[in-house]
């Protein structure tokens, strides 16, 4: 295998065979392909694309570049399912959905990521829980999935190592936005996890990576079709990210919001709608419900009975966190400064620059501007006023949680500029835009 010949063929618009793709990825895994060659390959794909067969082969090659999980010998009594989001602001769905599916009879080995750019990361949220081990070895991961029905961890060194190397180079080579490369990166990790079904939450809007609906739709279609070709049944929902999904955005504040959701003391409307819609797709896909109505009844029962909350608490404790997270959410980190950001006029919230809210959290220290930066888990926004909310002059648009007054000042300017108000009522858009299934 000569890497530059494979790069040349794709650069010139040719189609690569599965053997060529597998050979290239094997070279990546063994460090026989240089960083420059990986960057050149990624740029060639960025401009020339991959057809469905090529993308399936790339997904399979990266999935098989390390360990793969097989759950058939683990004595599980239900389907192995998962959910993945393309990233947003105030999107803590995974924290509720995994235990909800587990309470309905599924098993969820969820491999999640850290924050990327202005979007939050599930692992950063969970690591705001004292003692939580987001990177256990595969033996612990298996045991927690068997015992609790769900485990949310980060990508281990054993799973899809080729993807990890390629992604790091894509991030500095301006090729992150390639739909074929995004597709193969996401699905390779999911294939390696041994799933029987996957639901995708593809975001679009001001707070999403795919701001444009047409591009988000193309990504959702690519994910569903390539996953189907790789033998992983997948459904996708296009969801709106023109405002934060939850009324909280950050790390500890989103975990606290999730605990309230599971306990039933507070369930944000948009968050509930998206979580239920994804849960319905997962239960039907896994054969745990015969249709939408039965799936919705089961998910509602899992929430209202406390079964989902109990699964979440067991998972947290099994991965090193406290055993009383539900009873004592106050043990989560709390910022020294909690400042209400007051509206300057009355009116209905007309638009929110959701990306700007994500950047405000970076300003507060709740995200990373470099990979080696230690984040402030207590920083974030809560009580976020959503689109359509009517506010009086001097009513709060949100509460800023900051480590000091200077950080709060900086975040206040960013958040205030992100809001526009209208004197007229504003229509509330549904958070689920459409469903994407294989053709």
Q: Is 293 a catalytic residue?
A: no
Asked if 186 and 143 touch (Cβ cutoff 8 Å), the reply is: no
10, 118, 170, 191: which is the annotated catalytic residue?
A: 170
What's phi and psi for 143, nearest 5 deg?
A: -65, -40
Q: Is 122 a catalytic residue?
A: yes
β-pair partners for 110 = 152
Q: Is 128 a catalytic residue?
A: no
85, 156, 354, 407: which is the annotated catalytic residue?
A: 85
Q: Is 119 a catalytic residue?
A: no
Burial class (CB in 10 A: 0-12, 13-18, 19+), 223: buried
Q: Is 424 a catalytic residue?
A: no
What's phi and psi for 380, nearest 5 deg?
A: 160, -165
- Taking the C-alpha atoms of residue 49 and residue 28, their distance in angstroms, rounded to an integer, is 19
Asked if 68 and 138 touch (Cβ cutoff 8 Å), the reply is: no
165, 189, 217, 377: which is the annotated catalytic residue?
A: 189
Nearest to 382, CA basis, from 271, 255, 250: 250
122, 178, 188, 382: which is the annotated catalytic residue?
A: 122
10, 29, 65, 84: which is the annotated catalytic residue?
A: 84
29, 59, 65, 83: which is the annotated catalytic residue?
A: 83
118, 164, 190, 339: which is the annotated catalytic residue?
A: 190
59, 94, 185, 354: which is the annotated catalytic residue?
A: 185
Q: Which residues are catalytic?
A: 82-85, 122, 170, 185, 189-190
């Amino acid at each position: 295998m000569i890497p530059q010949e494979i790069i040349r063929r794709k650069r010139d618009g040719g189609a690569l065979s599965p053997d060529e793709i597998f050979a290239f990825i094997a070279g990546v895994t063994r460090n026989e392909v240089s960083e420059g060659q990986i960057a050149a390959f990624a740029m060639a794909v960025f401009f020339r694309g991959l057809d469905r067969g090529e993308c399936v082969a790339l997904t399979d090659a990266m999935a098989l570049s390390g360990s793969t999980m097989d759950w058939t010998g683990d004595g599980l009594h239900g389907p192995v399912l998962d959910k993945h989001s393309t990233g947003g602001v105030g999107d803590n769905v995974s924290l509720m959905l995994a235990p909800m599916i587990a309470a309905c009879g599924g098993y969820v080995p969820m491999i999640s990521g850290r924050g990327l750019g202005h979007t939050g990361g599930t692992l950063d949220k969970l690591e705001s829980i004292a003692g939580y081990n987001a990177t256990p070895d595969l033996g612990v991961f298996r045991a927690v999935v068997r015992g609790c029905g769900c485990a949310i961890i980060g990508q281990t060194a054993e799973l899809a190592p080729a993807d990890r190397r390629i992604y790091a180079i894509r991030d500095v080579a301006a090729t992150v936005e390639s739909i074929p490369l995004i597709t193969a990166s996401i699905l390779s990790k999911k294939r390696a996890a041994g799933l029987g079904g996957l639901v995708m939450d593809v975001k679009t809007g001001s707070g999403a990576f795919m701001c444009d609906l047409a591009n988000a739709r193309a990504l959702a279609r690519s994910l569903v079709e390539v996953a189907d070709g790789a033998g992983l049944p997948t459904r996708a929902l296009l969801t709106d990210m023109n405002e934060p999904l939850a009324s909280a955005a950050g790390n500890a504040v989103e975990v606290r919001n999730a605990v309230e959701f599971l306990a039933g003391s507070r369930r944000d409307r948009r968050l509930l709608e998206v979580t239920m819609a994804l849960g319905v797709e997962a239960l039907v896909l896994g054969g745990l419900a015969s249709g939408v109505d039965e799936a919705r009844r089961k998910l509602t029962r899992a929430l209202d009975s406390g079964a989902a909350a109990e699964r979440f608490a067991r998972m947290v404790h099994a991965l090193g966190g406290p055993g009383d997270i539900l009873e004592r959410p106050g043990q989560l980190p709390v910022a020294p400064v909690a400042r209400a950001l007051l509206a300057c006029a009355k009116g209905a919230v007309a638009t929110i620059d959701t990306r700007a809210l994500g950047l405000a959290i970076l300003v507060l220290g709740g995200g990373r501007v470099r990979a080696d930066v230690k984040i402030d888990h207590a920083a974030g926004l809560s009580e976020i006023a959503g689109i359509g909310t009517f506010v009086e002059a001097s009513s709060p648009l949100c509460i800023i949680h900051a480590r000091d007054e200077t950080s709060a000042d900086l975040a206040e300017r960013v958040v205030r500029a992100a809001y526009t108000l209208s004197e007229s009522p504003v229509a509330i858009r549904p958070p689920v835009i459409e469903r994407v299934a294989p053709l």
